[in-house]
Amino acid sequence: MSLSIGIHDLSLATGEFVLPHTALAAHNGADIGKYHVGIGQESMSVTAADEDIVTLAATAAAPLIARHGSDRIRTLILATESSIDQAKAAGVYVHSLIGLPSATRVVELKQACYGATAALQFAVGLVRRDPAQQVLVIASDVSRYDLDSPGEATQGAAAVAMLVGVNPALVRIEDPSGVFTADVMDFWRPNYRDTALVDGQESVGAYLQAVEGTWKDYTEQGGRTLEEFAAFCYHQPFTKMAHKAHRHLLNYCGRDTDPTAVTAALGHTTAYNRVIGNSYTASLYLALAALLDQADDLTGQNIGFLSYGSGSVAEFFAGTVVAGYQDHLRTAAHREAITRRTEVDYAGYRALHEHRLPADGGDHATPAQTTGPYRLAGISGHKRLYTTR
Ligand code: HMG
């Protein structure tokens, strides 16, 4: 009999601040309908000067350790595309902040927004090899585009931590997967840049191509039919993209693309991304969190996952919601992570956007801004210094 392996627990974290799209529209003169309806975004999380992918990741992961301990965790995989070092894995700092044992392997994975899905699939493989072990998978990203660029309205920041193991309490991950890779330049960030470069229209088209490609492969691998899914979680650079993608899938499969059917299939998956913004690797798993936290009982239902990472790599796979999952959700904590954010005005957001750690090798403290459990206290001799608050 095949093992049941999947997501045993899931926890999210997001930035200290929030910028409503009304403030961005007031600055750049855009009609607010373009943001609220056109791209389906209401606000975006903004990180404090003393937050980064490490503090977000540790904040998301700590509650998992508090609930389950760390005895069975022998691997931590952190997926990100906003990495802070070209050599050292960000997960090593997280390992220290959340107190994992030294007998742990830690590695960082990158392929744009797709990385966390690779991490999840690799984790399933590790657990299949040794079912006694659990793998801590963390998706953590801060999305940054140039000020006054079209991508600016699609920024955001968040981390999702998932504990992967046998007999999961939330979602069982199934075989097969449909996978797709195409060498396209739709979105990228060269090593010398802090902000991403993007060809917006090309990126939307590349995403839709990947939807087709993954579904074709998924079907050829013997996957489920569309009708077997109760809901679809998509990577959501902006929530309207999930609608475009699902409509495209229905169309590709020769099904009716009635907007009500599309909205019903997406269910509650857009609720968190709509107010957090693009969190790259974490976005797909925020969609899952929003669905589980808000839908009526999903026990035994199949969920389709479409993970897309520019460049591009994509994967379609299925998960089945496990009986009793509602007893293990962190709905109140997730809502609190979102509602506790402090609103910034446009000038405050701009100052945070322009903030950079000095690169001169000196000793520099960062302003104390975050009210979260971990902070980037400063930099000294080119070494980042993290503390617990
Ligand atoms: P834009 O040029 O500012 O906007 O860029 P637009 O003119 O295309 O308008 C957007 C939508 O709003 C359109 O609807 C307009 O009609 C509508 P659509 O034709 O798409 O259905 N609109 C309005 N609706 C109601 N009331 C109004 C109004 N005005 C206009 N008054 C773009 C939009 C998404 C291209 C831009 O924000 C961008 O470049 N974003 C970044 C790239 C991106 O998110 N791409 C998505 C696919 S790639 C991906 O998902 C990967 C990624 O996450 C990175 C990774 O993998 O690491 C990005």
Give the CA diameter of the chain. 61
Give distance in angstroms: CA of 280 to centre of ligand 1: 15
Give distance in angstroms: CA of 270 to centre of ligand 1: 16
Whose CA is closest to atom 13 on ligand 1?
38
User: What residues does ligand 1 touch, defined as CB less than 6 Å away?
Assistant: 31, 33-34, 37-39, 81, 112-113, 150-151, 153-154, 186-187, 198, 200, 203-204, 207, 235, 237-238, 241, 278, 280, 308-310
pLDDT in tens, 360-380: 999 999 999 999 999 999 999
* Residue in 35, 44, 81, 154 to alter for ligand 1 test, most ligand atoms within 8 A of Cβ: 154
Catalytic position from the list 8, 95, 113, 334: 113
Catalytic residue status for 235? yes
Q: Degrees (nearest 5) of the Cα angle 267, 272, 277?
A: 120
Q: What percent of the chain has pLDDT over 90?
A: 98
Confidence of residue 228 (pLDDT cuts 50, 70, 90): very high
pLDDT in tens, 286-330: 999 999 999 999 999 999 999 999 999 999 999 999 999 999 999
Whose CA is closest to atom 39 on ligand 1?
200
* Full-model pTM: 0.98
Whose CA is closest to atom 32 on ligand 1?
200
| pLDDT exceeds 70 at position 338 | yes
pLDDT in tens, 15-36: 999 999 999 999 999 999 999 9
Which atom of ligand 1 is least distant from the CA of 281?
Answer: 57
Confidence of residue 2 (pLDDT cuts 50, 70, 90): confident
pLDDT in tens, 172-211: 999 999 999 999 999 999 999 999 999 999 999 999 999 9
Catalytic position from the list 81, 108, 174, 315: 81
**Could you give all domains of the chain from N- to C-terminal order, each with its CATH number?**
5-388 (3.40.47.10)
SS (H, E, C) 126-182: HHHHCCCCEEEEEEEEEECCCCCCHHHHHCEEEEEEEEEEECCCCEEECCCCEEEEC
Contact 336, 59 (CB under 8 A): no
Cα 250 → chain centroid? 24
Give distance in angstroms: CA of 189 to centre of ligand 1: 19
Cα 248 → chain centroid? 22
Give distance in angstroms: CA of 200 to centre of ligand 1: 7
Catalytic residue status for 8? no
Confidence of residue 1 (pLDDT cuts 50, 70, 90): low
Q: What is the mean pLDDT of the segment spanning 350-359?
A: 96
Catalytic residue status for 334? no
Cα 167 → chain centroid? 24
Provide φ and ψ at 170, rounded to 5°.
-110, -70
Q: What is the mean pLDDT of the segment spanning 211-221?
A: 98
| 40-52 as b/e: b if 16+ CB within 10 A | bbbbbbbbbbbbb
pLDDT at position 267 is 86
Which tokens sit at 173? 């991950």
Contact 298, 231 (CB under 8 A): yes
Mean pLDDT of the chain: 97
Compute the 3-state secondary structure of the chain and give helix, strand, coil in percent, each to the nearest 5: 40, 25, 35
| pLDDT exceeds 80 at position 272 | yes
Give the closest residue to 243 by CA, choosing from 40, 33, 43, 44.
40
Alpha-carbon gap, residue 28 to 21, rounded angstroms: 10
pLDDT at position 366 is 98
- What residues form DSSP beta bridges with 240? none
